[in-house]
Amino acid sequence: MVPLWRTCKEAAALLVAREDRALPINDRLALRIHLLACKACPDFERQLVTLRQAMKQWRNYSEEDSGAAP
């Protein structure tokens, strides 16, 4: 196996792990190479970003923000 090559399954696991912790340099580099070479994984990365942003907004949501009566 080439040291910096990751399968889509491995790349997806790294993308998810990156949400919780900083990746080691070799994993960051391997992930970048994979994202440049793969057609599907960048879409998955964008979906994760969208989910993260939606969850952040949801956590900060309150009924006062929506204008609803108590």
Domain ranges of the chain: 8-59
pTM for this entry: 0.76
Question: How many other CB atoms sit within 10 Å of the CB of residue 50?
Answer: 10
Predicted confidence (pLDDT) at residue 2 exceeds the cutoff of 60: no
Q: Tell me the per-residue pLDDT of 6-36, one tens digit each, with 9 for 90 and over.
A: 999 999 999 999 999 999 999 999 999 999 9
pLDDT at 40: 97
Amino acid at 13: A
How many whole angstroms separate alpha carbon 44 and alpha carbon 15?
A: 9
